[in-house]
């Protein structure tokens, strides 16, 4: 009877080594493909945001909605942790229910803004890459409430210089109210990804509502930095301040943007976040609240 030849230990080790080497070679490519798929989803989401705003403008005399409540409105009557709204699973926007931290359900909650009917599925409001960074770094969010689990709900904010915020006397002449007043639609952000952690020199304010408000160096409120573009695309999880953020522009195209770029004037340094948000063309030297 002929004996069957078995693999020797050395042969098995060689095969295992070859498999391990192939995995090591393929893993970076697989990771890049996975990240590219997430990136594509994010861009598609923002394209839909752009189309939704175009429809809204056509039905509302070309007037923008107020940025802080265009889509997601805080339940002021029951939510004492407004800073945590972006990751508060108690908000059920599709069924208009808010469940507070005590477990009490509040039916018919006014949590949806005027754009909601154009984007009425939660799938379109969250970038998959943002979720990964939010789970790791969400606790760095200012005023984070550890009793509210980090369950990201949305990741895009509306340019505050389009429509304003509607609750401050400073916004009387801020930005523009109508789409036709924008000087260069291809250079003005409509919606953008926003940081959830502060970055010295670039971000003093972060994502909470859906209002993206980067500030002018001579802002009359005394806040001269404000919000900034997100930094979690085209970077690793360990380098959270070194990436880029997606945004959809008024003309409908989507592009990556860096918060690191800036322009230096004799009267101050203007961030890229502000430059890409300002809709009136020439950037004023005094402050962002000027008519005309």
Residue pair 167/68 in contact (Cβ under 8 Å)? The answer is yes
Which pLDDT belongs to residue 79? 92
Q: What residue spans of 60-103 are helical by DSSP H?
A: none
CA 107 distance to own-chain centroid? 28
Closest CA to 60 of 134, 113, 130, 138: 113
Classify residue 284: in a domain, yes or no: no
Strand, helix or coil for residue 263: strand
For 39-64, what is each residue's pLDDT tens digit? Answer: 899 999 999 999 999 999 999 999 99
Q: How distant is the alpha carbon of residue 63 from its chain centre?
A: 22
Non-local CB neighbours of 201 within 8 Å, separated by 6+ positions: 225
In a domain, residue 40? The reply is yes
Name the pTM for this structure: 0.88
CB-CB neighbours of 219 under 10 Å: 18
Residue 282 lies in a domain: no
Residue 4 is assigned to a structural domain of this protein: no
CA-to-CA dists, residue 223 to 49, 54, 208, 236, angstroms: 28, 31, 17, 30
Q: Are the C-beta atoms of 119 and 71 separated by less than 8 Å? A: yes
Report the domain count for the chain: 1
154 burial (CB, 10 Å; 0-12 / 13-18 / 19+) is buried
Strands (E), 182-234: 189-193, 211-212
What confidence score (pLDDT) does residue 213 get? 94
Report, as ranges of residue numbers, the positions in the chain whose pLDDT lies below 70: 1-7, 11, 27-33, 166-173, 290-292
Take residue 108 and report the two structure tokens written for it: 């018919």
- Residue 219 C-beta-side C-alpha neighbours within 13 Å: 19
What residue numbers bound the domain in which 165 lies?
A: 11-275
In a domain, residue 92? The reply is yes
Q: What is the pLDDT of residue 292?
A: 44
At 262, list the tokens: 């800036």
Q: Give the count of beta carbons closer than 10 Å to the beta carbon of residue 252.
A: 16
For residue 155, is it within any domain? yes
For residue 7, what pLDDT is reported?
63
Distance CA(9)–CA(167), nearest Å, equals 74
Give me the pLDDT at residue 22, please: 76
What was the pLDDT predicted at 38?
84
């Amino acid at each position: 009877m002929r004996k069957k030849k078995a693999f020797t230990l050395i042969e098995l080790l060689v095969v295992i080594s070859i498999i391990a080497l192939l995995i090591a070679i393929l893993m970076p490519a697989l990771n890049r493909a996975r990240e590219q798929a997430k990136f594509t989803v994010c861009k598609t989401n923002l394209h839909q945001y752009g189309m939704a705003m175009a429809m809204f403008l056509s039905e509302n005399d070309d007037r923008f909605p107020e940025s802080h409540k265009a889509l997601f409105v805080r339940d002021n009557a029951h939510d004492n942790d407004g800073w945590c709204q972006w990751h508060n699973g108690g908000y059920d926007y599709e069924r208009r229910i808010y469940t507070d931290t005590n477990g009490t359900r509040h039916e018919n909650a006014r949590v949806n803004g005027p754009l909601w009917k154009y984007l009425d599925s939660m799938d379109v409001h969250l970038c998959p890459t943002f979720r990964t960074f939010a789970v790791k770094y969400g606790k760095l969010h200012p005023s984070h409430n550890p009793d509210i689990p980090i369950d990201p709900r949305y990741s895009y904010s509306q340019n505050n210089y389009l429509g304003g915020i509607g609750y401050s006397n400073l916004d009387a002449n801020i930005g523009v109210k109508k789409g036709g007043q924008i000087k260069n639609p291809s250079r003005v952000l409509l919606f953008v990804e926003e940081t959830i952690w502060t970055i010295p020199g670039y971000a003093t304010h972060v994502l909470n509502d859906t209002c993206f408000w980067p500030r002018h160096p001579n802002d009359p409120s005394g806040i001269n930095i404000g919000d900034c573009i997100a930094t979690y695309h085209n970077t690793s999880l360990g380098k959270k301040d070194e990436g880029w953020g997606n945004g959809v522009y008024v003309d409908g195209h989507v592009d990556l943007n860096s918060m690191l770029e800036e322009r230096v004037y004799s009267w101050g340094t203007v961030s890229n976040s502000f430059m890409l948000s300002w809709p009136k063309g020439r950037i004023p030297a005094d402050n962002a609240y000027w008519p005309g």
